[in-house]
């Protein structure tokens, strides 16, 4: 419409059609056509110049017309009625566009050619499913995914075989700052480690993480809400962010990371082509060099680099990062053995004896082992052991007798003896001093205290006094005194008891000389 106004202004200034064409870069024939329309319309120059573009367009008949055949053709109307059902059929597995065209040719008397059919079908599909524009906010989302093609530059040093590696990729929605690393698999451990390293690379935490529906992230996908993997959900809770899985088979939901994969094919895969690495660490170092160049390169359209946009727009919007690295915790259900221990990777950990023969839940990492009851109550916590067949024990979990036997601590035994009588305690102290081996002293003291339940405190007290007077400090001495009822004798006769009894002469008695 601007060209038409310029033609009319030049004509009003007295210019000829040839001159106007040269001045405006138009053909003389076009200029003559516009001038003929102007002269026939019966409107003044001022009226035409002041007209709106739409009115001027209608006056000079410059509207873009579709061919009449495509608008009013019966076969076109017939195809338009079939397109909705064709689009529904196209969503079913096994249905192709070519198969639809063959069916269309059978149903229609005067069908379109294959190219025209595909054109109308694609046009209808685009109009029916318009693409939404997403406004990405700073610090809002981090998209994560794996590249479809594996890296094939890692070799096994021993066998020389190529070890294919996965490429984990993450990208921030606003600045497009990208992180990637090579991993040995897409297992849960590697996936969560990749997300952890991404957050450390960005030095901040986004509001949400958008993964694909791989098993490492999503246990059961859903259209409206998915069931997350417990460990991945714990990772998100650790850093205070949300998990928003993309819809199944909807790559447009994470188009940013899909585009990032294509760019990294060009800027990393091609640079590593022909190079050889023997460990994952050296491979990642080479990847991060190329990644830094990628993030610092200016973007298309005159935009600054991804790193510049991140520092300017997104860094301050990122949430705080938990200074403690997330460590994946493993879970296992175990049954408590009869000895009050659970077995975990060839090590054993104690639990209270009331849980013997019951199933418990264990959560453990590289440092700690936590044991929970079926009602999710924490009942025990131990350091993680890596020694084969080591028994890690909390003495509080053991019965009283086992606890004393384990620690060989005489204080509890002496406390129990002092409650009976101070003389019993004094005697047991001498027993402990006489024994060279702690376990032997413990057993002797336990035996002496057990006699109180059999004969009473009074008799035990007298037996301990009599044994002390004879200089004998052991369990057998006290037991013999009680068995022979020597404690029943008056105390004045204790001194008449023989200290040493001579053995009788007999052929079966060898004597101490035999053992020299």
* Number of Cα atoms under 13 Å in the Cβ half of residue 186: 19
A 10 A CB-CB count for 207 gives 17
Provide the pLDDT for residue 67.
Answer: 47
Q: What is the pLDDT of residues 344-378, one digit of tens each?
A: 988 999 999 999 999 999 998 877 899 999 888 99
**Rounded distance, CA 381 to CA 364, Å?**
10
Q: What is the pLDDT of residues 36-45, one digit of tens each?
A: 888 888 777 7
Provide the pLDDT for residue 10.
Answer: 85
Asked if 434 and 461 sit in the same domain, the reply is: yes
Asked if 164 and 196 sit in the same domain, the reply is: yes
More confident site: 493 or 321: 321
More confident site: 88 or 115: 115
Asked if 110 and 163 sit in the same domain, the reply is: no
Q: What is the pLDDT of residues 407-428, one digit of tens each?
A: 566 777 788 888 888 988 888 8
Of 224, 214, 218, 212, residue with least CA distance to 253: 212
Q: What is the pLDDT of residues 193-211, one digit of tens each?
A: 999 999 999 999 999 999 9
Q: What is the pLDDT of residues 146-197, one digit of tens each?
A: 998 899 889 888 888 888 999 999 999 888 899 999 998 888 888 999 999 9
Provide the pLDDT for residue 27.
Answer: 86
Asked if 257 and 345 sit in the same domain, the reply is: no
Provide the pLDDT for residue 104.
Answer: 92
Is there a domain that residue 86 lies in? yes
Asked if 157 and 117 sit in the same domain, the reply is: no
Confidence of residue 500 (pLDDT cuts 50, 70, 90): very low
Provide the pLDDT for residue 341.
Answer: 93
Exposed/middle/buried for 489, CB within 10 Å: 0-12, 13-18, 19+?
Answer: middle
Is there a domain that residue 221 lies in? yes
Provide the pLDDT for residue 287.
Answer: 93
CATH number (domain holding residue 336): 2.30.30
More confident site: 493 or 220: 220
Provide the pLDDT for residue 133.
Answer: 60
Percent of the chain at pLDDT exceeding 70:
89
Asked if 209 and 266 sit in the same domain, the reply is: yes
Asked if 179 and 269 sit in the same domain, the reply is: yes
Mean pLDDT of all residues in 380-386:
89
Rounded to the nearest 10°, the torsion over CA 352, 356, 358, 362 is: 50
- How many domains is the chain built from? 5
Asked if 391 and 451 sit in the same domain, the reply is: no
Q: Is the pLDDT of residue 65 over 60?
A: no
Is there a domain that residue 161 lies in? yes
Asked if 212 and 285 sit in the same domain, the reply is: yes
Provide the pLDDT for residue 439.
Answer: 73
Confidence of residue 69 (pLDDT cuts 50, 70, 90): very low
Residue where a domain stops, chosen among 398, 425, 458: 398
Of 256, 166, 162, 163, residue with least CA distance to 209: 256
Arithmetic mean of pLDDT over the chain: 84
CATH number (domain holding residue 202): 3.30.420.10
Is there a domain that residue 501 lies in? no
Question: Among 156-165, 221-230, 451-460, 465-474, which stretch is predicted with the lowest mean pLDDT?
Answer: 221-230
Residue where a domain stops, chosen among 40, 59, 78: 59
Q: Is the pLDDT of residue 50 over 60?
A: yes
**Rounded distance, CA 178 to CA 259, Å?**
11
Q: What is the pLDDT of residues 114-138, one digit of tens each?
A: 999 999 998 888 887 766 666 778 8
Is there a domain that residue 133 lies in? no
Q: What is the pLDDT of residues 503-514, one digit of tens each?
A: 556 666 666 566
Provide the pLDDT for residue 23.
Answer: 83
**Rounded distance, CA 181 to CA 284, Å?**
6
Q: How many angstroms separate the Cα of 345 from the Cα of each of 188, 352, 357, 370, 473?
A: 20, 20, 19, 14, 46
More confident site: 200 or 93: 200
A 10 A CB-CB count for 196 gives 18
Asked if 12 and 43 sit in the same domain, the reply is: yes
Is there a domain that residue 504 lies in? no
Provide the pLDDT for residue 359.
Answer: 94
Is there a domain that residue 510 lies in? no
Is there a domain that residue 171 lies in? yes
Provide the pLDDT for residue 373.
Answer: 92
Structural domain containing residue 473? 402-496
Which residues 6+ apart lie within 8 Å of 260 measured at CB? 143, 169, 171, 176, 178
Provide the pLDDT for residue 511.
Answer: 62
Provide the pLDDT for residue 1.
Answer: 67
Provide the pLDDT for residue 504.
Answer: 57
pTM value > 0.85: no
- The helix-helix angle for 2-12 and 17-24 (nearest 10°) equals 140
Asked if 243 and 185 sit in the same domain, the reply is: yes
Provide the pLDDT for residue 70.
Answer: 43
Provide the pLDDT for residue 501.
Answer: 47
Asked if 391 and 452 sit in the same domain, the reply is: no
């Amino acid at each position: 419409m601007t060209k038409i106004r310029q033609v009319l202004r030049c004509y009003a200034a007295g210019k000829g059609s040839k001159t106007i064409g040269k001045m405006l870069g138009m053909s003389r024939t076009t200029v003559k056509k516009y001038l003929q329309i102007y002269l026939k319309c019966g409107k003044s120059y001022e009226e035409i110049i002041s007209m709106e573009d739409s009115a001027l367009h209608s006056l000079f008949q410059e509207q873009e017309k579709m061919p009449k055949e495509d608008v009013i053709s019966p076969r076109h109307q017939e195809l338009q009625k079939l397109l909705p059902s064709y689009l529904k059929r196209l969503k079913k597995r096994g249905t192709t566009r070519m198969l639809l065209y063959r069916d269309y040719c059978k149903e229609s008397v005067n069908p379109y050619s294959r190219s025209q059919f595909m054109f109308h079908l694609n046009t209808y599909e685009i109009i029916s499913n318009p693409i939404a524009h997403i406004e990405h906010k700073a610090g809002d989302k981090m998209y994560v995914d794996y590249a479809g093609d594996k890296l094939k530059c890692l070799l096994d040093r021993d066998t020389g075989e190529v070890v294919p590696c996965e490429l984990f990729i993450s990208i921030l929605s606003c600045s497009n700052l990208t992180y990637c690393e090579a991993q040995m698999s897409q297992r849960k451990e590697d996936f969560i480690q990749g997300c952890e390293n991404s957050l450390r690379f960005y030095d901040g935490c986004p509001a949400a993480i958008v993964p694909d529906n791989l098993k490492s992230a999503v246990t059961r996908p859903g259209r409206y809400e998915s069931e997350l993997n417990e460990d991945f959900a714990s990772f998100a809770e650790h850093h205070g962010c949300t998990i928003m899985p993309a819809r199944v088979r909807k790559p447009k939901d994470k188009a940013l990371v899909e585009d990032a994969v294509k760019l990294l094919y060009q800027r990393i895969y091609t640079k590593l082509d022909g190079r050889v690495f023997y460990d994952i660490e050296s491979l990642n170092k080479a990847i991060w060099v190329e990644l830094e160049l990628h993030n610092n390169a200016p973007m298309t359209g005159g935009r600054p680099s991804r790193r510049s946009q991140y520092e300017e727009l997104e860094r301050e919007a990122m949430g705080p990062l938990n200074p403690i690295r997330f460590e994946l915790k493993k879970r296992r259900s175990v049954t408590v053995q009869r000895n009050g221990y659970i077995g975990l990777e060839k090590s054993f950990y104690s639990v209270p004896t009331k849980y013997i023969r019951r199933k418990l839940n264990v959560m453990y990492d590289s440092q700690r082992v936590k044991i929970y009851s079926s009602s999710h109550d924490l009942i025990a916590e131990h350091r993680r052991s890596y020694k084969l067949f080591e028994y890690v024990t909390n003495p509080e979990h053991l019965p009283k007798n086992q606890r004393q036997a384990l620690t060989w601590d005489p204080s509890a035994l002496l406390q129990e003896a002092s409650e009976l009588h101070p003389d019993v305690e004094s005697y047991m102290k001498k027993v402990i001093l006489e024994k060279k081996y702690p376990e032997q002293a413990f057993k002797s003291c336990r035996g002496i205290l057990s006699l109180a339940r059999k004969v009473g405190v009074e008799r035990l007290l007298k037996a301990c006094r009599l044994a002390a007077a004879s200089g004998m400090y052991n369990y057998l001495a006290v037991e013999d005194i009680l068995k022979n009822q020597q404690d029943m004798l008056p105390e004045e006769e204790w001194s008449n008891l023989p200290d040493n009894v001579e053995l009788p002469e007999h052929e079966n008695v060898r004597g101490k000389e035999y053992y020299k």
